Structure formats: C-alpha cells, structure tokens
Amino acid sequence: MDGAKVTGLRNVSSTCSISETEDYDLSRLLDKPRLNIERQRSFDERSLGELSTALSRGAHDNYETTHSPGWRSGFNTPASSARNSFEPHPMVAEAWDALRRSLVYFRGQPVGTIAAYDHASEEVLNYDQVFVRDFVPSALAFLMNGEPEIVRNFLLKTLQLQGWEKRIDRFKLGEGAMPASFKVLHDPVRKSDTIIADFGESAIGRVAPVDSGFWWIILLRAYTKSTGDLSLAETPECQKGMRLILTLCLSEGFDTFPTLLCADGCSMIDRRMGIYGYPIEIQALFFMALRCALSLLKHDAEGKECIERIVKRLHALSYHMRSYFWLDFQQLNDIYRYKTEEYSHTAVNKFNVIPDSIPDWVFDFMPTRGGYFIGNVSPARMDFRWFCLGNCIAILSSLATPEQSMAIMDLIEERWDELVGEMPLKIAYPAIESHEWRIVTGCDPKNTRWSYHNGGSWPVLLWLLTAACIKTGRPQIARRAIDLAETRLLKDGWPEYYDGKLGRYIGKQARKFQTWSIAGYLVAKMMLEDPSHLGMISLEEDKQMKPLIKRSSSWTC
C-alpha cells in the first residue's frame, strides 16, 4: 500500500545542516541503524530494541541531530517506511484527515489548528481557538511530513500578536508575553478576517500562559532544524521576539533561586491545581527555551548581552534542578531523615522541609531503581507529585543528566500501571482527594480525583513519551504505549483526556476530536518510524554544564 497516496502525505527527503552550538555530527552513529532498517525490511519490535541498545550506548551524546547532509536521502518518510514493512495503521490516515479538518486559515493562509473540532459538544468555550501549546504537536506533525509553511505562518502570526499592547483591567502585561490562544473571525459580508487573542485576560482564572513564549522559541528551533532554513530565525523580528520573551524571565529581582516563580494554572494545567511556585513543567520548558534561544540568537550587540545572561542562568538552573528537584530512593531516604531548623551555609536541609510533610504514597511509589523530578520545590514545601510533561521535557532538553534520564524511564517501567495504565498518559500522579482537593483546587468540579488535570490521562502526552523513549534508547516502551492508544483512541473519537485510576473512561467533560490528541499520536508514530525526527525536539547534553550531583543516584543501585 502506498502510504503517501492513502494518507495524502508528502515525502520528506530534504536535509540541511544548520550551525548550532549544540549540533554534533551524528551521521556516523545513525548511519548504521539506518542501514539496518533499510536492509531488514521487517522492522519489528526486536530489531527496534536492538537498534535502541546500539544507540543507547552512545545515545546521549549523539542521538540528536536530524541534519547530517544526505544521510536521510533515499529514505523518505513516511511513504518509504511503509515500503519497508511499516504498513501504516488505519488510524494514521484517519488522524491526518482529522488534523487537516482542524486547520485554521487567516486570509487564505493556514496559520494553526483549532483546539477541538467537536460539533457534538454543547459548550464551545475557547476550544474553537488556536492554542499555542496545543499547536506544537500539530506543527511537529507538519514539519515531519515536509509541510513547514503552516508552522512558519503560525510563528509569524503569533509574533505579531506579541507586539500587541496587553492589558488586564488597568494593568499592562510585559511586552514579551505571548498569547495562550487566538481566534480568526471571518466576516463573510466584508470578506475580511480579523484576529482576537487571549493573553490571559479572558482565560478562566485570568492567568497569563508562561509556557506559550517557551513553546514559541522551541518551535522556532524545530522549524529551523527541520527545514535547515535559518533565515526566519535570523530576521530582526524573530530575534527581537526571542529577546522579549527572555527579558521577562531573566530580569533580576528578589529571587533567591534560578527557577521561575509562577502563578497556579500558567501552563498546560491551566486551572488551580497547587502548582504555583516553581512548577517542574515551567522550569523544564524554561531550560529548553533558553537552550534553543542560545542556538538561534545572533551574536550581535543586542544578542550578545542576552546570550551572556542565558549562559549564566543555564548553569544555575541546571544545578538547582538536578540537585533539589531530583528524587530517587536514596534521596527520599535522606529527606525522611532530615534535621530541621538548620541555619547558615552548612545546612543540609536547605529549604527546611519537614519530614512529616512527606506524603505516605511516595514511600510505596518510589521503586528501588528509578527516579524523577518532583513537581515543585520552595521553602518548606516539596510537591512530590509526578508530572509527565516536565519530566519528558527534562529528558529532551538534557536538563536531566543521562543517568537521570535513564532513571526516569526506569520509573515509568516500574510504575507502568500508575503512570500509563490502560490509556497513556497520566498528566500527574497521584490525584488529590477529599479535604486536600477542596483546599488545593478550591473545590474544582472539573478537577475531581483521577479526572482532567487531577490524575487524568492525556493522549497528547504520547508524543513526549515517545521522544523521550527514543532519546534514551527505549523505543519498546513507546511502542507499548502506542499499542494501548491504538486500541481505543479512534474508536472513542480522539478524546482530550480519560478518567479513572487506570484511565479507562473517556473524560467526563473531555472534548472529542481534540486536535493535540490526534497530532500527538501522529508525531509518536512518525518518530518511531523515523527516529531521526527526534533532532527537531531534542537537545544534546552540554558538556560544560555538568554540576556534580553530590547525592544519591538510583543508577548505582
């Protein structure tokens, strides 16, 4: 079957090299498995496993770049992968159709994808808008399919929106703020299109999306990496856009930590869920955006100053995160035995965390092998919950050391029922219940236990897991998760999220035909078929940024 014909896909064979500080020549390492794939024709789980073992030996240093000129030529995705025994799953064609139906046009040009195309739902709310974070998997799917135009249009359109004056009541937002979402209004009489954007002033809870700017920078790099076209990133407008976003985060103030202080609900979890403070999702995206910007900013007068600040912040941030957010068995044991009320520089328990505040569940949850970045660390407060997005981004950005990345994957394997269950993937674990739910969420009826942001399962996270699996050389984990998704996602109409401890039930208020559930599935499939796509969304470890981890490490167990 010709995959290209069936799914209406275009082939990708163009490769270019862009000079980036984190770019390394992977062609030598990747050439080998690539040949294997082509020769073997039966690219089954075993061969993928072998490929991963071969890669994992040097994976962290090398499995990164999409662009080593020529190595992909003659291996077009996804059509040729079909020829090489990847019969495309029937869901793939359906997903492409659904993704294309979600396209949003501005003056005849595609500029994004709508959050959900759910006609059955009575309440539209803002699901008819293009969300910046939701568009990321769509963008990656289009880039992987050799359709960069829509991504370029999106990047430019949102950049224009950044230039708007943003106000909430009488208060003006920082210049660099990017919108959470925008909507195109078509006037059939005047035959004109206009845009409205939401920077948090209409959002439920009135929170500005801290993640939008980070995703914008990450996407700009993905576009540059995928197309080899540096000219967009190098425009004065894009350079300024990046600098403005970063100025918001790099300014000096009262902070004693290099992490970014946030309000509740400022990212994917956009409602009150007790993630105020220093949430892992934002810290990981911040780190990744800083590294992406570092590779895209020009070394001109204005760029240079920004670059210097980025480099300093990256050092401090990686040290802080790797040291204080990391939790594994030994570290948990250390915290359990912490002394409190220590004063001065010699303090071991720097944030004065009271051991009694460690929740019971974490002692059972923590495997002997494995570890993760916890949800939040601030004075006398550690949020021990697992958050999927932050941990996957930590792996992809190399905020996690290679050993920590392996430990995160170990944890996912060891705690499969809890974190994956019957439908990938839990956004957070565990759910908050009863009195705690009342206090922490403010009695939010949408975030009841094991639903939505409170321990619900989100298919969109599949692409992040798959990318992390490929980077750590464990594609078989992704394959297992994708198999699970394939049993239900299409049949259930691509829900936004699932409910229940195991994620067995379609979410109570979940939209159907949620675009990022569709695109997330496609990206996961395409990456597994052609792991070289990983380079778009992954950054290799920066050797100069090696803080010593002076504490426990699960990899020695």
**Which residues make up the interface to ligand GLC (CB under 6 A)?**
115, 131, 133-134, 268, 270
Q: Closest by alpha carbon to 290, among 315, 253, 262, 263? A: 315
How far, in whole angstroms, is CA 154 from its chain's centroid?
A: 18
The smaller minimum CB distance to ligand GLC, of residues 124 and 380, is found at: 124
The smaller minimum CB distance to ligand GLC, of residues 265 and 475, is found at: 265
Residue 472's alpha-carbon distances to 71, 387, 409, 552, in angstroms, are 22, 18, 8, 21
Q: Least distance (Å) from ligand GLC to the CB of residue 132?
A: 8
CA distance 269 to 170: 26
The smaller minimum CB distance to ligand GLC, of residues 121 and 378, is found at: 121
Q: Least distance (Å) from ligand GLC to the CB of residue 268?
A: 4
Q: Least distance (Å) from ligand GLC to the CB of residue 259?
A: 21
Q: Closest by alpha carbon to 537, among 372, 374, 398, 375? A: 398
Q: Least distance (Å) from ligand GLC to the CB of residue 521?
A: 15
- Answer for the pair 2, 78: CB distance below 8 angstroms, yes or no: no
Other beta carbons within 10 angstroms of residue 511's beta carbon come to 23
Q: Least distance (Å) from ligand GLC to the CB of residue 528?
A: 24
The answer, yes or no, to whether the previous bond of 425 is cis (omega within 30 of 0) is: yes
The smaller minimum CB distance to ligand GLC, of residues 88 and 507, is found at: 507
The smaller minimum CB distance to ligand GLC, of residues 268 and 536, is found at: 268
The smaller minimum CB distance to ligand GLC, of residues 329 and 498, is found at: 498
The smaller minimum CB distance to ligand GLC, of residues 155 and 407, is found at: 155
Q: Give the sign of the dihedral formed by CA 282, CA 288, CA 292, CA 297.
A: positive
Residues 6+ apart with CB under 8 A from 177: 162, 166, 199, 200, 208, 212, 213, 248
Q: Would you tell me the crossing angle of helices 210-227 and 280-296 to the nearest 10 degrees?
A: 40
DSSP assignment, residue 423?
A: S
The smaller minimum CB distance to ligand GLC, of residues 270 and 383, is found at: 270
Q: Least distance (Å) from ligand GLC to the CB of residue 342?
A: 39
355-390 burial, b at 16+ Cβ within 10 Å, e below that, comes to eeebeeebeebbbeebbbbbbbbbeeebbbbbbbbb
Q: Least distance (Å) from ligand GLC to the CB of residue 250?
A: 25
Both tokens of 322, joined, read 């790797």
Q: Least distance (Å) from ligand GLC to the CB of residue 131?
A: 4
The smaller minimum CB distance to ligand GLC, of residues 437 and 497, is found at: 497
Q: Least distance (Å) from ligand GLC to the CB of residue 92?
A: 22
